Amino acid sequence: MNNFSYTPAATAKEALGLRKDTKEAAFIAGGTTLLDLMKANVEAHPQLIDINQLPFKGIQETADGLRIGALERMSDVGENALVMQQYPVIAEALLLSASPQLRNMASIGGNLLQRTRCGYFRDPAFPCNKRNPGSGCPAQVGDNRNLAILGTSEACIATNPGDLAVALVALDAVVVLENAKGKQRRVPLLDFHLLPGTTPQRETILEPDELIVAVTVPAAAHARKSHYVKVRDRASYAFALVSAAVGLEVQGGQIRSARLALGGVGTKPWRALEAEKMLVGRAATEETFRTAAAAAVRGAQPREHNRFKVEMAQKTLVQALQELMAS
């Protein structure tokens, strides 16, 4: 870890101003991603700008849905009555994440920006295209059990490890960003994270002079009837091997609308749009679910140790849909 200075900011303007002054400075919210990476010498920042005093708070019902401030803590959002009742997939994804201690610290904005758990990325002794562009990707032929099968490239196969983003991307969430000039823009979460391509070091469309202010989620029947299933190596406190976020609107046994996303398998939170199309208008049967699940992993490019994810992802998706129908 390098020496760094620490500056609390009182307003977004101040925080962004400080960021502009010091290239390579970083915002710190809960610090649960940032400090880990700094201690491992994966990231080095000369200055940390504490944004916890910024007014990016609140879990509110708006005219067209839900608005969550970027500095709300994972635990508060996961245990919020509105979220639990109207957007259960979000609450479930949050409460199946990390540990209570981490959830009490970690913020929603920080969660969307957490970085891959790829072991090569997290240890600077290894080459890694994401951490050190052009140095190579040992994971392709190495320890890739936890890495992605969808959206991969020759440069990088790192999984986006988060749970919340999977639930949010399923529900068409929008990220609200603000820049130094006080200008806001709204970006669908689907477009927020980038595929690795040849530039795996670039993970989101967030500009250096931008802050995440909030996340909004449109209200919908498929949000009210939604569910998250996470499969992992131990019963708690582990990242997903695979996970599925599902939402359905069903009338008279027929699916009116569907939302599907997969975690643990994609280089970004993986929305399964094709699979959704295969559900709409069909009867909510296991048969239908299986067909959709097969579509969801079409084009998967597994490596030696993560081949199992192709099947596990489908089974998890089917299980999530079945449990949702049974609930």
Partner 1 sequence: MDNEPAFFETNGPGTGGIVGQPLDRVDGFAKVTGQAKYSAEYKLPGLTYGVLRTSEIARGKIQSIDTSVAAKEPGVLAILTHLNLPKLAKTPNDPDSKKAIGAPMGFLPLTSDQVHYAGQPVALVVADTYDRAVHAASLVKVNYAVEKPVVSFLDPKAQVFDPEKVQDGKTPGHTRRGNPQEAFAASPIQLTATYEHAINHHNPMEPGATTAVWEGPDRVTVYESTQGVTRTQKALSAMLGLPTEQVRVVTKYLGGGFGCKGSTWPHTILTVQAAKAVGRPVRLSLTRPQQFTSMGHREDQHQTLKLGATREGRLTALIHEKTSTTSPWDNYAEPNSRIINLLYNCPAFESTYQLGRANVMTSTFTRAPGEAPGSFAIECSMDDLAAQLGIDPLQIRLLNYADKDPTNGKPWSSKSLKQCYARGAELFGWSKRNPKNGATRQGRYLMGMGMATASYPVHNNQGTARIRLYADGHALVQTGATDLGTGTYTVMTQVAADSLGIAPDKVRFELGDTRLPTAPNSGGSVAAGTVSSSIYMAAQDVWQKLTKLAIQDKKSPLYRAKAADVVAEKGRLVLKTDKTKGEDFMALMKRADMPDIEGSGQGKYGAGYETGRAPGPADSGHEDDKGGHSMHSFGVHFCEVRVDPEVGTVRVTRWVSVHGAGRILNAKTARSQIIGGSIFGIGNALMEETFRDPNLARYTNASLGEYHIPVNADIPDMTVEFIDEHDPYINAMGVKGIGEISMVGVAAAVANAVFHATGKRIRSLPITPDKVMNSLAV
Ligand X SMILES: Cc1cc2nc3c(=O)[nH]c(=O)nc-3n(C[C@H](O)[C@H](O)[C@H](O)COP(=O)(O)OP(=O)(O)OC[C@H]3O[C@@H](n4cnc5c(N)ncnc54)[C@H](O)[C@@H]3O)c2cc1C
Which residues bind to ligand SF4, rule: CB under 6 A? 116, 118, 120-121, 128-130, 137-139, 147, 156-158, 200
Q: Which does 315 bind (CB under 5 to 8 A by kind): ligand SF4, partner 1, ligand X, none?
A: partner 1
Residues 6 or more apart from 286 whose CB is under 8 A from it? 318, 322
Among positions 78, 109, 151, 266, the unique one binding ligand X when judged by CB under 6 A = 109
Q: Work out which of 70, 148, 168, 295 binds ligand X, going by CB under 6 A.
A: 70
CB of residue 125 to partner 1, shortest distance in Å = 4
Sheet holding 59-62, edge to edge: 59-62, 65-69, 210-218, 174-179, 184-188
Candidates 132, 173, 189, 151; CA nearest to 266 is 151
Q: What is the DSSP string of 11-77?
A: SHHHHHHHHHHSTT-EEESS-TTHHHHHHTTS---SEEEE-TTSS---EEEETTEEEEETTSBHHHH
Give the number of other CB atoms < 10 A from CB of residue 301. 13
Number of residues that this document lists for the chain: 327
Residues 90-109: x where in contact with partner 1 by CB under 8 A, - otherwise, as a string: --------------------
Residue 261's binding partner, choosing from ligand X, partner 1, ligand SF4, none, with beta-carbon cut-off 5 to 8 A by kind? none
Q: What span, in angstroms and rounded, lies between the C-alpha atoms of 36 and 100?
A: 17
Residue 145 lies near partner 1 (rule: CB under 8 A): yes
- Binding residues among 239-258 for partner 1 as defined by CB under 8 A: 241-242
- Which amino acid is residue 185, in one-letter code? R
3 binds, among ligand X, ligand SF4, partner 1, none (CB under 5 to 8 A by kind): partner 1
Contacts with partner 1 by CB under 8 A lie at 1-3, 40-41, 117, 119-120, 122-126, 138, 141-143, 145-146, 231-238, 241-242, 308, 311-312, 315-316, 318-319
